[in-house]
Structure 1
Amino acid sequence: MDKPKKENIIWHETAITKEDRQKLHGQKSCVLWFTGLSGSGKSTLANKVEERLHSLGISTYLLDGDNIRYGLNKDLGFREEDRKENIRRIGEVAKLFVDSGIIVLSAFISPYTEDRQKVRDLLKEDEFIEIYTKCSLEVCETRDPKGLYKKARKGEITDFTGISSPYEAPVSPEITVNTESMSIDSCTDQIISYLMDKRYI
């Protein structure tokens, strides 16, 4: 069966807008994009932030890198082109959640600056909040919660970020949390304070 031509696809406007949904939820929707090395605490922190937001009555949804690969992106590997497609798809999903009027938390290594920028470009200027979970490679390796660094060092895993594949740290993220020197609670407080100060919640 032939794929539909783009000229035969027409965007269908809905009666209920993003602004209507935001008003219903009583919040400003956005993406909290957690990026950092494996072991830097992205998923742990994203979960803690979601718990705190939930306790405040904020509507949220958490997209986690490993979890997404169980379903939506289970056909993708870890080569550079697969990683780029992984982030592209997540960006589109995150955009849908923002349109639904909720705050979506996205915890992915997302190692390439270009790919993170493409996700940012999908959204309005104030709808993408990049959160850099800053932590040295040395500390991330000592944590190694999944044993992936050991496997990467032995050559059992190829294209592993920080070892055999690059990680491009954000140059000017909205938020930088140093998970090497700060507690998870302190990092969470920093993010929640930002959201309150900027009137997202």
Structure 2
Amino acid sequence: MAFTLPDLPYDYDALEVSIDARTMEIHHTKHHNAYITNLNNAIADTALADQSLEDMMAKAGTLPPAVRNNGGGHWNHSFFWDVMSGDSMGAPKGALADDINATFGSFDAMKEQFNTAGATRFGSGWAWLTVGADGKLQISSTPNQDNPLMDCADVQGTPILGLDVWEHAYYLRYQNLRPAYMQAWWDVVNWDKVSELYSAAK
């Protein structure tokens, strides 16, 4: 079963307050699509062709680099699009907000720790907010297209929020100012979706 490029849940210009339309279009149609094409080529005529992305992530440490990297790229980007929205939501509410306050001290403290994880990731990668196996919230970062679902991740768990800190995600508007991009990105987080993922992970 070949993987296909998912549609975005909004128009390319919907996140303009934080991410310009041209970046979104290139990111989706070029970068994400390339991961899918390369993944399909890597798994063609192998036993992996019938497996889900989640199954691949669970054993990523044993997979060929082309499958790990491109499978991760496809999963990460599909996830990334869904945790953003053009409708500004400000901050989380309910059980997720309570858990963030209890775990990190405050929403602002969580954002600062998350931003630090992304800003200090050397080279390309991702910043994550996950629910660990113990049910507790945790913040981490991964290199390249790795993610916390992978058996080889330093910090494993179920992602509920993720930010792409590869330069292609922000360079047209922010150039080398990754922290400025990260700060602006909070204005387009889809907290309804994050709360839904949080509830499912708990």
> TM > 0.5 between the two?
no
Per the normalisation by structure 1, the TM-score is: 0.30
Which structure is higher in RCO with an 8 Å CA cutoff and minimum separation 6?
Answer: 1
More helix by share: 2
Structure of larger gyration radius:
1
Per the normalisation by structure 2, the TM-score is: 0.29
